[in-house]
Amino acid sequence: MPDLYQELIKLADSEMYPLHMPGHKRNLESTPMKGAFRCDITEIDGFDNLHDESGIILDAENRANELYGSDKTYFLVNGSTSGVLSAVSAALNEGETILAARGSHKSFYNAVYLRHLKVKYLPYYIDSVYGIPDSYSLEDVVPNITDDIRAVFITSPTYEGKCSDIEKIAKACHERNIPLIVDAAHGAHLGFVGAKTYSDEEYGCLPKNAIQMGADIVIHSVHKTLPSMTQTALLHVQGNLIDRGRLKRFLRIYQTSSPSYVLMSSIDLCIKEMRENGNKYVDRLLELRNRIQNDTRKCRFLKVLGKSAIDDASKVVIYVVNGTMTGQSLYDILREEYNLQLEMAGDKYALAIISGWDTDEGINRLISAVLEIDARLARESDNKFNDDKLNTTLETDENDTCSRVEYALPQVAVSLGEAWDSDTEIVCLVNAEGRVSAEFINLYPPGIPLIAPGEVFSGKIIHEIRHYLDQGMNVQGLADICTDDRNQGMEYRKGFICVRQK
């Protein structure tokens, strides 16, 4: 078996173009860190200590803090996962209740389990046409802030680039003396300003970041859209609702005691780059995004969603009009036939992530591929949909007149912790209706649960999971069932880990 390094070199030498994280895009011109091994040291004299910073690391954190404008910024070398775990743990005492978006990352649920928290969910809204999880307004959140809520947790921007009204939500939280935690793992690039101007139909700027809008704790994965190494992140804190000493204690718990200086120096170099060239980054990102938008505008069967549907210009959502193919099929074709590795596939769309360090060659390849696939779909069309219907659909999408629908959440039978700690058994898919899950079932990426421990499998949820499996999507949390009958279908070869019935 080849080792990891050999496989990485093999990938780097191939023609596969990365339309996914991390933001440096393997573009060696975006970073001076070509000889990472030369920088790989431990806490020797003169190089400070991440868990008790007072010298060179503290200075680096302060530079990040000045760039983003919070009260205090911490380096994270265990990714945004460690930031979410630390933030939730510091904001609440054991057993307290947090109000959260259902589409939260699995690290949030791990924090809930570890701190024995109770969760009250915000309604989970889905765009009725595109199938994309929606963002939150003040009106979505405030009615759900009951007297028992001790903190609010929201993901903004979402994986697909939707941004919630953090400014108004933060103000409402502060009026009730509770902190707002924002998982902005995908938003490290937000808040920076470019110099160029664009037409009203084009992306002209990036949204503000959650720090500027008043959130108490904000977690950024700098590697997702900026030129920093995978696993690097930042945690920002401001205001007086979060105890700094308590937060630092949990950062020490959830982060490695042997932090990588390669990763920390990568963060520092990224901050330096954004301090010096952040405006150029924004201009470049918007230029590339608008090029994709404009050059694919006449496509009839594939549609790159514009700013009326997607707030964050770094997220290129390619929607399949009228179900002419699945999102997974589009994702597979782009990878297998065009050597374009996208970030993920949804039911009706595929998602590419671009950054200010993408190359013209890579973006032009994406545009050409979208145009070619759209032309192929046009040729293959058997007139099932006439041109009038297609044009009407596209016009509706452009004007963003689509509504959102509330996704019905599963019934909760027992707490997450009780289910996770219970005796379990594997139940095949066809027999699981009415059973209580003892494990998360996630679509990955992005790692958002379809069902969580303690929740009841309904026929609808089981049908949805089987649908994703049939499409070849990556469903995590299932168990393999041993069977000698190779003719058995997926519903008998895969099972759910359920709470054992007494």
Query: What is the CB neighbour count within 10 angstroms for residue 215?
Result: 28
Statement: residue 337 has pLDDT above 70: yes
> Percent of the chain at pLDDT above 70?
90
Ranges assigned E (strand) in 184-325: 217-220, 233-237, 302-304, 315-320
CA-CA distance, 134 to 343, in Å (whole number)?
19
Q: In which residue are the tokens 């790692």 written?
A: 447
Nearest to 117 by CA among 153, 70, 80: 153
Q: How far out from the chain centre does Cα 139 lie?
A: 24
Contact call for residues 342 and 334 (beta carbons, < 8 A) = yes
What pLDDT, in 10s, does the model give residues 403-436?
889 988 999 999 999 999 999 999 999 899 999 9
Q: Using only C-alpha atoms, what is the Rg of the chain?
A: 23
Q: What is the pTM of this model?
A: 0.91
Provide φ and ψ at 294, rounded to 5°: -70, -40
Contact call for residues 254 and 162 (beta carbons, < 8 A) = no
Set out the domains of the chain in order of their start, with CATH numbers.
51-257 (3.40.640.10), 280-385 (3.90.1150.10), 408-499 (3.90.100.10)
Statement: residue 367 has pLDDT above 80: yes
What pLDDT, in 10s, does the model give residues 300-316?
999 999 999 999 999 99
Helix (H, G, I), strand (E, B) or coil at 237: strand
CA-CA distance, 463 to 115, in Å (whole number)?
32
CA-CA distance, 17 to 366, in Å (whole number)?
9
List, in sequence order, every residue forming a beta bridge with 120; answer none if it has no partner. 99
Amino acid at residue number 207: P
Statement: residue 76 has pLDDT above 60: yes
Give the model's pLDDT for residue 329: 96
What pLDDT, in 10s, does the model give residues 117-151?
999 999 999 998 999 999 999 999 999 999 999 99
Confidence of residue 484 (pLDDT cuts 50, 70, 90): low
∠ at Cα 408 (405, 412), nearest 5°? 160
Q: What does the block give as tokens for 382?
A: 């058997």
Q: In which residue are the tokens 């000889």 written?
A: 35
Confidence of residue 395 (pLDDT cuts 50, 70, 90): very low
- DSSP-derived pairing of the beta strands 494-499 and 441-443: unpaired
